[in-house]
């Protein structure tokens, strides 16, 4: 396996749409299973639409392997305020399973945190699957579980201080 230092984190570009769509479908299936997965065509249209509307409300970083293959991505958006106390949202984060446990996910999260901080956003949350094994990853990065008004945990996590998160995550 190649050293994680040889992987590059960079901002996604419009010309990445086909590779990003393929990666999104593959990582979605790895994470959530193969029942009714999104199609390549759907993800390509969604990413194409996103890149056609670059308005400062979102950004995306990719992890590029030494051979140029995209192996992971993270998308940040401004949070809509539905959960008070959080201004940014880690909208999507996916990494091909064969690249887990190399520190690449930490690099992606840290890069997103630093981008938000550069934009004056000092907190972020994410909404995931309450039963996903990736939740241990968020907890290891200091995320707090967010509970509903009824006290249920539905998969939401939040970081109230992105400065600390940026400090504990390696630079891309």
**For 13-47, what is each residue's pLDDT tens digit?**
999 999 999 999 999 999 888 888 999 999 999 99
Average pLDDT, the chain: 93
Task: Return the domain boundaries, the chain.
Answer: 4-168
Q: Give the sign of the dihedral formed by CA 116, CA 129, CA 85, CA 139.
A: negative
Burial category of 15 from C-beta neighbours within 10 Å (exposed 0-12, middle 13-18, buried 19 and up): exposed
* pLDDT in the model for residue 1: 52
Record the tokens describing residue 46, joined without a space: 């969604």
This prediction has a pTM of 0.94
* Residues 1/32/83/159 CA torsion (nearest 10 deg): -20
* 157/132 Cα distance (integer angstroms): 12
| 155: CB partners within 8 A, 6+ apart | 127, 128, 129, 130, 131, 132, 135
Q: Which residue reads 């996910």 in tokens?
A: 105
Contact 15, 47 (CB under 8 A): no
Q: Is 77 left (phi over 0), alpha (psi -120 to 50) or beta?
A: beta
Choices 3.40.605.10, 3.40.50.720, 3.40.630.30, 3.40.50.1820: CATH for 4-168: 3.40.630.30
Record the tokens describing residue 76, joined without a space: 């940040």
Q: How many CB atoms lie within 10 A of CB 42?
A: 13
* pLDDT in the model for residue 33: 84
* Confidence at 60, pLDDT banded by 50, 70, 90: very high
């Amino acid at each position: 396996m190649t050293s994680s230092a040889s992987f590059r984190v960079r901002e996604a570009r419009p010309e990445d749409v086909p590779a990003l769509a393929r990666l999104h479908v593959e990582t979605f299936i790895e994470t959530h299973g193969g029942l009714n997965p999104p199609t390549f065509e759907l993800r390509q249209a969604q990413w194409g639409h996103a890149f056609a509307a670059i308005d400062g409300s979102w950004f995306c970083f990719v992890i590029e392997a030494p051979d140029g293959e995209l192996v992971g991505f993270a998308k940040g958006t401004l949070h809509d305020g539905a959960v008070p106390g959080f201004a940014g949202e880690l909208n999507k984060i996916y990494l091909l399973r064969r690249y887990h446990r190399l520190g690449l996910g930490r690099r992606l999260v840290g890069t997103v945190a630093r981008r938000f901080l550069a934009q004056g956003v000092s907190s972020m949350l994410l909404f995931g699957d309450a039963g996903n094994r990736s939740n241990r990853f968020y907890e290891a990065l200091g995320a707090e579980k967010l509970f509903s008004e009824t006290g249920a945990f539905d998969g939401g996590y939040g970081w109230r201080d992105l400065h600390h998160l940026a400090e504990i995550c390696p630079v891309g």
